[in-house]
Amino acid sequence: MKSRWKVKTDVFKRYIEKTVQYYLISLILILVTEMLARHSPVKGFQFVWDHPFLILYSALILTTAYSLSFWFRKRNVIWLLITTVFLSIAVSNSILLLYRITPLTATDISMVTSVFTIMPVYLEIWQMVLLLGLLVAAIAVLVYFGYRAPKQERDIVCAVLLSLVLFGVTSAVMNIGDETGLLQTEFANLPDAYEENGYVYCFTRSLVDRGIEKPEEYSEETVEDIFAAIKGQVDKEAEQTPNIIFLQIESFFDLSRVNGVSYTEDPVPVWSSLLKSCPSGALTVPSIGAGTANTEFEVLTGMSLDYFGAGEYPYKTVLQEETCESVAYNLKKLGYRTTAIHNNTGTFYDRNLVYANLGFDCFDCEEYMQGITYNSLGWAKDKILTQQILGALNSSKEQDFIYAISVQPHGKYPTEPMEDPHIQVTGFGGGDEERAAGYEYYVNEAHETDAFLGLLVSTLNAFDEPTMVVMFGDHLPNIDMTEDELSEGNLFQTEYVIWSNQAQREDYKLKNNKKDLYSYQLYSYVFKQLGMNQGVLTKFHQKYTIEGSHEEEFTTLQYDMLYGDREVYGGVNPYEPTELQMGVFPIEIKEVYSIGGSIYVHGNNFTEYSKVFVNDDEQDTIYLNKNTLMVSDLQPEDMDRVYVAQKAGRSETLSRTKEIVYTE
């Protein structure tokens, strides 16, 4: 009779033998994944051949995941589930890369609910049906095998031990790779990082690499030493306090920077004029082709994404729970009312939740806007922002800070030529007709956005309050450009412009300076022009240039403010979440009445997104006009509770009115 130790040893050996098989299968799956990521079998093979350490390590990661199957009696079902999930992620990344430059990261998966809202823009109906069919088929196969698969012998002690050993080996190899430089640890350019390091390693890194790593020398004394140089700078009385509007323009830049391209007319004449006549410069942003929320984060907070996890969106991680010093909080100290405006759904990037942690009083999004028109891809046209910005300015007695975000020139761009484009483009794409067609479409959308800039400037020029507008592109368009195609700057550079309706006054202090900036320096630079210095990072940026000797201090301050002990604030977070008002003009009910067996709800500021609820049950709502909603074929009963909610999609409620109790 075998001893218990001998039995355990034999089981462990069998597990090891099976693990070797899993490792060989993992190598094949890694090869398939790299082929999918590069849309080319040849390039996939070439990457595997050129990067043996990365491939062997990536296979070890997958094998460690496979070891969890030994914990279950239906081992093969768990193995199949892990394989299905792995290949689903690989296929999703391959599809995503057809429409944007940035690969799929762990943060993207956490944003899946937001992705559902824009899928119709990127995919045809038949493609969505096909994906849904494949998903249902995969689930059916897993359920079938789960039911039919035989149970196998299991030794939970040996299974857990094997997983721990593999996890330890994987961690040790990662540490060795980090120390020796065999593994890249900082992904300044996400697309390049995935291209150079392989999808499995980079995706795994994005799973575990979140937030800002604690500096080795972090302590109260270290922070105090860093802060000492700026601590003596007390908050100034601002020399100028105009309304301040930051306008973040989707996928926008100076199109004259594109080499060898001709246009039938200047596609962005307003932008070209502003660049020449106003303070302006190159703006280095953290992303290419996508990642609007990360440019937004840097501009609003003065923090750099370089020190966060690979591919991380702070809107989906730390800002879900924590407040953060921002330009909005800093201007509230000076009595400003703070408003965010975006002509897209309010739930994208969880802005309807995050803006309360960034100091905004109000968020005006697509669901609260009247008279929106849409382009052929379904993105709201930017001209709507003029009336929304003017409405925000007129709705408050205080000075206003408005952060407006446009969306119209967003991709994906069509690959078929436009039938009758207003602006025709020649010389782009190097013979790639689909790419040329996409660029021509983008140029015409950018032209309309440029016209919106002209409308906004002329409207505000006649506005009777001093108003400054800081305009900038959030990133280059998703056209898969190379730096060789740009006459100046790099792929991470757009431009910014500072315009004011006070520029003609002789005592106006802003001069036509030309200064290149990083997006995290922008608001501090604007504050300096206005004689403002509110905020820790404001003072830091106004005193130091980050490149070089002060990068370590910058990292330490960011860590302390978001993840550390908040020594810069005396150990207590001074920022409380705001009570975020949804809509510059919130929806409200005035009365509910019944006519001919239908309910009519009378009130203010209703839109197509307004839904009537009776006793907490959503009703099929007919939008008649901004003052009236109707629910047909429903006779209310005495004491029914009625309210209206603004819905983003089918499930998310952005806000709701007070209830009215119906009485006959």
The answer to whether residues 427 and 483 belong to one domain is yes
pLDDT, tens digit (0-9, with 9 covering 90-100), for 488-517? 999 999 999 999 998 777 667 777 788 999
Q: Higher pLDDT residue, 349 or 192?
A: 349
Query: Is there a domain that residue 566 lies in?
Result: no
Residue 78 backbone phi and psi in degrees, to 5: -65, -40
Please say whether the beta carbons of 410 and 379 come within 8 A: yes
| Phi–psi pair at 623, nearest 5 degrees | -85, 115
Average pLDDT value for the chain: 86
Across 622-626, average pLDDT: 95
- Which carries the bigger pLDDT value, residue 150 or residue 471? 471
pLDDT of 446 above 80: yes
Q: pLDDT confidence of 427, banded at 50, 70, 90?
A: very high
* 577 domain residue, yes or no: no
Q: Which of 149, 62, 136, 118 is nearest to 380 (CA)?
A: 118
Count of domains observed in the chain: 3
> What percentage of residues in the chain have a pLDDT greater than 70?
89
- pLDDT tens digits, 57-104: 889 999 998 888 888 888 888 888 888 888 888 888 887 777 665 677
Residue 415, pLDDT > 80, answer yes
Q: Which residue has the higher pLDDT, 175 or 193?
A: 175
| Any domain includes 601 | yes
CA 349/CA 339 separation, integer angstroms: 17
User: Does residue 342 carry a pLDDT above 90?
Assistant: yes
Q: What is the pLDDT of residue 100?
A: 60
In a domain, 570, yes or no: no
**Are 41 and 146 part of one and the same domain?**
yes
Amino acid at 408: Q
Q: Do 240 and 199 belong to one domain? A: no
Residue 610 pLDDT > 90, yes or no?
A: yes
Q: Is the pLDDT of residue 125 over 90?
A: no
User: What pTM was computed for the model?
Assistant: 0.82
Q: What is the mean pLDDT of residues 630-640?
A: 84
Q: How confident is the model at residue 444 (pLDDT cuts 50, 70, 90)?
A: very high
Counting residues of the chain whose pLDDT is more than 90, the rounded percentage is 47
Question: Tell me, what DSSP letter sits at residue 62?
Answer: H
What crossing angle do the helices spanning 52-66 and 156-180 adopt, rounded to 10°? Answer: 160
How far apart are the C-alpha atoms of 262 and 303, rounded to whole Å? 38
Residue 553 lies in a domain: no
Q: Above 50 in pLDDT, residue 1?
A: no
pLDDT, tens only, 343-370: 999 988 889 999 999 999 999 999 999 9
pLDDT of residue 73: 83
Q: Return the closest-CA partner of residue 396 out of 351, 331, 449.
A: 331
Least confident range of 126-135, 297-306, 403-412, 627-636: 126-135
- pLDDT for 84 equals 83
Tell me how far apart the alpha carbons of residues 434 and 343 are, in angstroms, rounded to a whole number. 28
pLDDT mean over 383-403: 95
Structural domain span for residue 13:
4-208
- In-domain check, residue 465: yes
Kindly report, residue by residue over 204-262, the tens digit of the pLDDT. 877 777 788 888 888 888 888 887 777 666 677 777 889 999 999 999 999 999 999 99
Q: Both 436 and 290 in a single domain?
A: yes
- Dump pLDDT digits (tens) for 569-587: 988 999 999 999 999 999 9
Beta strands in 427-554 (DSSP E): 467-473, 493-500, 517-518
What does the DSSP assignment read for 352-375? Answer: HHHGGGGT-SEEEEGGG-SS--B-
Whether residue 312 is found in the same domain as residue 450 = yes
Q: Is the pLDDT of residue 116 over 60?
A: no
Q: Span 405-418, mean pLDDT?
A: 91
Would residue 597 count as lying in a domain?
yes
- Say whether pLDDT at 567 is over 60: yes
Please check whether residues 159 and 255 belong to one and the same domain: no
Q: Are residues 302 and 390 in the same domain?
A: yes
For residue 4, the model assigns a pLDDT of 64
Tell me which of 548 and 238 has the higher pLDDT: 238
574 or 544, higher pLDDT: 574
Q: Are 117 and 345 in contact (CB under 8 A)?
A: yes
Tell me the C-alpha distance between 183 and 292, whole Å.
28
Q: How many CB atoms lie within 10 A of CB 320?
A: 13
Q: Give yes or no: residues 255 and 338 share one domain.
A: yes
pLDDT for 115 beyond 60: no
- Taking 50 as the threshold, does the pLDDT of residue 187 lie above it? yes
Say if residue 178 is in the same domain as residue 264: no
Q: Is residue 215 part of a domain?
A: no
CATH number of residue 609's parent domain: 2.60.40.10
Give the pLDDT band (50/70/90) at residue 3. Answer: low
Write the burial class of residue 185 (CB in 10 Å: 0-12 exposed, 13-18 middle, 19+ buried): middle
* pLDDT at residue number 226: 80
Which pLDDT value is given to residue 44?
87
Domain CATH code at residue 354: 3.40.720.10
Amino acid at 150: P
Q: Are residues 423 and 495 in the same domain?
A: yes
CA dist., res. 623 & res. 630, Å (int):
7
Rounded CA-CA distance 193/205 in Å is: 11
- 172 with 295, same domain: the answer is no
Confidence of residue 5 (pLDDT cuts 50, 70, 90): low
The answer to whether residues 191 and 268 belong to one domain is no
